[in-house]
């Protein structure tokens, strides 16, 4: 549970332009707040306005290194009212960011949406996406060879140039009154992008387009009510604007919301690979993972862990000696389920005193935050045999801090249980697990659980079994991306990046050994 995620996206399109245009920024506020957990380093919004015959900018664009609440004015009601009034419109897209590419030197420039300015309406657009491109190096090289400058150094910039190139091509091959062909555009970059992307784009006429990658790595859902269509990374964002019936955007599909109609086209049929980590960690308990309630999945995580519990007999015979509780928040349901399996109740022992998520913060902030995120209720822990349920472990920084808190509170024993199997391979599809060396499960070639228990100073440490994970999620194994668990990457460039990285890290290890002397071997 200390991972950085891709991001989150949402969009809205009014069915009638004469409907109260304040619905758009108000809805963006609600939806972005619902997906805030997916990205906490910045917020952005792009709005298309009706010019009403007056000269003005059809796109309004706002990006800040703020959380969603502060982005919309926070407790300053006057500022909030000003923002909501200025950003009235007929359609809009929004984005919460945690970056998985790019440096932190130009953080504000990396925030999405990106706005492509142009004098011609047909060539301007505003877009954002959730994910990561595994073939970024190849795409970058191709653009540089074609005399393009990449100033920001993020995959969003690559996509922006690809869209611009295709619009230029469309205009060159069209009649005088050129109108962008969104579905041709979608097919063009879907043929060229390898990786994860749920992409939203506002075109120059205010229509809203969406594309989901052929593997369906990242979630994307949409729905409608009497006044508007809405689309978002998670179903709970739609419920925040009064849409309870949702539809999943199918992998490899593109959808266009316009004044005339909603058009959905299936562009590609590829191997589906839904990111399993969405179900384990990222999605809200109240959301759905590919039509399956996340709440149900996480409950089953706890049941599957309980089935392999080596202390089962001791727990049943001596319930009073044990206390079961989660490392909040993604493990809450699993802990309750695990406890119920043994006829017990998961206790609310570990308190989260900050809304910050350690995993999705930079390395220099994680240590600072870990001492300020959690607190423990000492008298519930003192003298007890602890079973701590955690959703996942990547680097182990957060868990070490939690274990120290529990020990300092006087626990007798600590037994750690993880709802996800060992993460042993890097991710190139939008989650910040980008090296082999940072993954704690890779520190040990054998007896991983035993060695991690020794490192953490706990009595036992147990991972979820792979079969238990698949059973709990409820989808066929072949439709789930588990590359970070098994090393089976579902795309060509994912495999290439993994092989390149392994060679680089092996060479660095050899260099350290030879340069650092015997002590480094």
Q: How far apart are CA 47 and CA 45, in angstroms?
A: 7
Helices 332-341 + 294-307 axis angle, to 10: 40
Retrieve residue 148's tokens.
């393009």
- What strands lie across the sheet with 253-257, from one edge to the other? 114-116, 125-133, 195-202, 208-212, 253-257, 262-266
Query: Which residues 6+ apart lie within 8 Å of 404 measured at CB?
Result: none
Give which of 17, 85, 94, 84 is closest to 51, Cα–Cα. 17
Q: Between the CA atoms of 9, 14, 17 and 20, what dihedral angle is there, to the nearest 10 degrees?
A: -90
Query: Which residues 6+ apart lie within 8 Å of 154 measured at CB?
Result: 99, 101, 102, 110
Q: How far apart are CA 168 and CA 162, in angstroms?
A: 10
513 is catalytic: no
| Per-residue H/E/C for 444-509 | CCCCHHHHHHHHHCCCEEEECCHHHHHHHHCCCHHHEECHHHHCCCCCHHHHHHHHHHHHHHHHHH
Backbone angles phi, psi at 148, to 5 degrees: -95, 140
What 66-74 contacts at long range (C-beta under 8 Å, 24+ apart), as own/partner pairs, is 66/42, 67/36, 67/40, 67/43, 68/29, 68/32, 68/33, 68/36, 68/43, 68/96, 69/33, 71/32, 71/43, 71/45, 72/25, 72/29
Retrieve residue 68's tokens.
């969603």
DSSP summary character for residue 88:
-
Going by their DSSP bridges, the two strands 274-275 and 480-481 should be labelled as parallel
Helices 182-192 + 155-172 axis angle, to 10: 130
The answer to whether the bond into 113 is cis (omega within 30° of 0) is: yes
Which candidate in 7, 126, 275, 481 is catalytic? Answer: 7
Q: How far apart are CA 294 and CA 391, in angstroms?
A: 13
Q: For tokens 């549970």, name the residue.
A: 1
Retrieve residue 432's tokens.
């910040």
Helices (H) and strands (E) in the chain, counts: 19, 23
Q: What amino acid positions are annotated as catalytic residues?
A: 7
């Amino acid at each position: 549970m200390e991972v950085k995620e891709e991001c989150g996206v949402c969009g809205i399109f009014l069915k009638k332009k004469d409907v109260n245009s304040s619905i758009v920024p108000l809805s963006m506020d609600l939806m972005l707040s619902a997906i805030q957990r997916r990205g906490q380093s910045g917020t952005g919004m792009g709005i298309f306005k009706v010019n009403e015959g007056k000269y003005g900018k059809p796109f309004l664009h706002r990006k800040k290194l703020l959380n969603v609440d502060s982005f919309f004015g926070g407790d300053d009601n006057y500022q909030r009212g000003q923002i909501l009034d200025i950003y009235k419109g007929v359609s809009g897209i929004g984005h919460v960011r945690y970056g998985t590419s790019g440096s932190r030197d130009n953080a504000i420039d990396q925030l999405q949406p990106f706005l492509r300015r142009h004098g011609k309406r047909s060539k301007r657009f505003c877009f954002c996406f959730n994910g990561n491109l595994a073939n970024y190096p190849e795409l970058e090289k191709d653009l540089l060879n074609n005399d393009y400058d990449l100033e920001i150094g993020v995959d969003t910039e690559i996509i922006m140039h690809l869209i611009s190139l295709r619009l230029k091509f469309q205009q060159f091959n069209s009649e005088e009154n050129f109108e962008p062909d969104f579905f041709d555009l979608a097919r063009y970059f879907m043929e060229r992008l390898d990786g994860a992307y749920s992409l939203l784009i506002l075109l120059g006429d205010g229509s809203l387009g969406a594309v989901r990658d052929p593997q369906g790595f990242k979630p994307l859902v949409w729905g409608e009510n009497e006044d508007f269509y809405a689309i978002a990374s998670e179903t709970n964002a739609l419920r925040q604007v009064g849409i309870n019936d949702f539809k999943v955007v199918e992998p490899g599909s593109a959808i266009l919301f316009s004044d005339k109609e909603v058009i959905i086209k299936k562009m590609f049929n590829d191997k589906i690979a839904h990111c399993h980590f969405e179900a384990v960690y990222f999605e809200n308990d109240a959301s759905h993972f590919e039509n399956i309630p996340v709440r149900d999945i996480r409950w089953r995580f706890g049941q599957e862990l309980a089935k392999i519990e080596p202390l089962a007999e001791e727990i049943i015979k001596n319930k009073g000696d044990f206390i079961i509780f989660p490392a909040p928040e993604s493990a809450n349901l699993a802990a309750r389920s695990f406890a119920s399996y043994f006829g017990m109740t998961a206790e609310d022992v570990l308190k989260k005193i900050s809304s910050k998520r350690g995993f999705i913060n930079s390395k220099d902030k994680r240590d600072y935050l870990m001492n300020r995120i959690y607190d423990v209720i000492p008298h519930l822990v003192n003298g007890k045999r602890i079973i701590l349920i955690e959703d996942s472990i990547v680097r182990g920084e957060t868990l070490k801090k939690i274990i120290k808190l529990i020990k300092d509170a006087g626990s007798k024993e600590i037994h750690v249980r993880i709802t996800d199997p060992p993460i042993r391979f890097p991710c190139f599809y939008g989650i910040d697990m980008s090296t082999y060396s940072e993954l704690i499960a890779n520190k040990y070639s054998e007896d991983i659980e035993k060695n991690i228990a020794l490192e953490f100073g706990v009595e036992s440490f147990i991972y979820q079994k792979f079969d238990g994970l698949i059973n709990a999620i409820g989808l066929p194994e072949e439709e789930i991306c588990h590359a970070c668990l098994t090393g089976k990457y579902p795309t060509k460039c994912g495999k290439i990046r993994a092989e390149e990285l392994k060679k680089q890290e092996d060479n660095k290890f050899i260099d350290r050994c030879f340069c650092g002397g015997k002590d480094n071997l």
